[in-house]
Amino acid sequence: MKLYQLCFVKRLIFPLFFIVVSLVACNNNSSKKPAEKVIVDKPEQMETVVSENIDELLTYLKGNAGKLNDSVKVDLLQQVDKVYQNTSFHTIWSKDQKWQPIADSMFYMVMHAKEYGLFPTDYHAEILNDFHNKIIADPSSKKNAILWTRADVLLTDAWFGMAKDLKLGRLAKDSVTLRNDSAVNDEYFFNKFQGAVASGNVLGVLREQEPTNRFYVGLKEALPSFLDTAKFKQVVYITYPGKDSMSLNTQVQQRLVEEGYIAAPLAAGDSAGLKKVLTAFQHVKKIKETGKINESVVRNLNYTDWEKFKRIALNLDRYKQLPDSLPQAYAWVNLPAFSLRVFDTDTIALQSKVICGSPVTRTPLLTSAISNFITYPQWTVPYSIIFKEMLPRIQKNTDYLDKQNLMVIDANDSVIDPKTIDWSKLNKTHFPYLLKQRQGDDNSLGVIKFNFPNKYSVYMHDTNARKLFGNSYRALSHGCVRVQDWKIFSDYLIRNDTLKFPADTINAWMERQEKHVVSGFKKLPLYIRYNTCEGNDGKVKFYDDIYGVDRMLSEKYFANKNVY
């Protein structure tokens, strides 16, 4: 090799060597596990040592996906790192081996997180409480710079985590999320943190992140009464239906042990003993006494105070998806409560029982506005109902159409005699007719129909099966919402248009069973939502999870939450 070539190779190799060595050194530095104890005997040196340790800790965390160890993880590392870069890694929450007042406030907030529908363990409650106890019970712990280092970083992470959860909640955006959070980004929370620390008002700034709508406030105010009597304990959660009957049987028996119905799991194959215990459990819970493991047994065994708290947490987060302010007047349909309420200013103008979609044909969640209503409407049967329910019955006996007050309409809008049709040749791919129900009290829509724009083709209406409003469980429709007090509701809609729609005119139409479209009144905003609990006179009122949505969301977001 020529001399100039050798020199070139050396010039290339040596820089590469130093780059590789530097990278290895940096990697080793970031992967080096932080010390568990660094004792500082001279108090005046503590701030400097802690500052250095914060720098080292953050370097390690950035190289380890935010994980300090198997049980501690800094979730919002990017924001936490930005804070300490801004302070040159100086402490925020402590000084002179003492927690600052803002640290006491933040620690209090973490330990009382459940009062906000939050989980203390999400904000390092255990390790912070351990640190707090150590510096009180063991003065020598104050000399350990590592304790001050970790407490500072974890309190910062806790603040950001709590601020984010209070402001945005933990649920992903869905089709009915209305909050406008385009300006609520990392910079927003960083600025809020800076202001909170500068003013010493970390609690106040956190609480400012909460929604102010009546539903959130009502449930939040009722939460303390629930917490006062709640008994939180870690128990087995039964998966139903389980992977196999043996696993389900084992889980149920473990829960029966935890609840004190049996002292220990029964001997294998003791089906008679299990039946006796299950019958006793069903008797206490006032559910049908079958002596068998079924959905109602599992639902009652799973319905612990801890699971109720998760349900409260979910619903508080649902209310965070609403805008900061709601209209002055609006209609609110809560499906699990089977209720319609109209809010006007600060009062409930009316409330009515409703019937909503069954679990198979769910009523969709939506936001719209009631634009008109129709007296004595005519129901055009959706094809989904025709093919699933009606066609098989018609094919057996065309008298079914008369019993249901149904007309067969062809493409020319003419009424066809059903006996002239060969129904056996009709199916999903070949059905050139419409089925319409004659207007009147026998019509499935009843005597009135309320319309609002939506992509699901659902509406609100009266019904010819009014006795069903007497049922406690009313998830019974094909998806539309049936309203018991439709007359009061329609009167409310035209309350400001009495000159255009005199009451005696509407009443006359109804008496004569005339079809009329009533429109032109001020549209009433409509919210159809799914809330399984709400605040009611200072108490938490729970409703059945009729569509199993809470169960799914709880398993997705809260399955690994620990009782604390």
Which of 124, 356, 461, 533 is the catalytic position? 461
Q: Please indicate whether residue 480 is annotated as part of the active site.
A: yes
Return the SS3 of 368.
Answer: strand
CA dihedral 373, 379, 381, 385 (to 10 degrees): 70
What phi-psi label fits residue 179: left (phi over 0), alpha (psi between -120 and 50 degrees) or beta?
Answer: beta
Q: Which of 200, 171, 231 has the alpha carbon at shortest distance from 103? A: 200
Residue 67 DSSP class: B
- Whether the ω angle into residue 241 lies within 30 degrees of 0, i.e. cis, is yes
Which of 124, 478, 480, 533 is the catalytic position? 480
Return the SS3 of 521.
Answer: strand
- Is there a contact between 297 and 274 (Cβ–Cβ < 8 Å)? no
Return the SS3 of 237.
Answer: coil
Other CB atoms closer than 10 Å to residue 425's CB: what's the count?
9
Tokens representing 185 are: 């980004």
- Is there a contact between 330 and 315 (Cβ–Cβ < 8 Å)? no
Q: Please indicate whether residue 283 is annotated as part of the active site.
A: no
Q: Are strands 406-409 and 434-437 parallel, antiparallel or unpaired?
A: antiparallel
Return the SS3 of 454.
Answer: coil
Per the listing, tokens 């406008």 go with: 180
Other CB atoms closer than 10 Å to residue 229's CB: what's the count?
7
Distance CA 127, CA 510 (A): 69
CA distances from 409 to 63, 111, 225, 387, 393 (A): 71, 67, 59, 16, 18
Distance CA 385, CA 242 (A): 32
Tokens representing 536 are: 């009611």
* CB environment 393-421: b (16+ within 10 A), e (fewer): ebeeeeebbeebbbbbeeeeeeeeebeeb
* Amino acid occupying residue 495: R
- Is there a contact between 538 and 221 (Cβ–Cβ < 8 Å)? yes
Tokens representing 460 are: 């609100």
Per the listing, tokens 């943190």 go with: 193
Other CB atoms closer than 10 Å to residue 463's CB: what's the count?
21
- Is there a contact between 382 and 478 (Cβ–Cβ < 8 Å)? yes
Q: Which residues are catalytic?
A: 461, 480
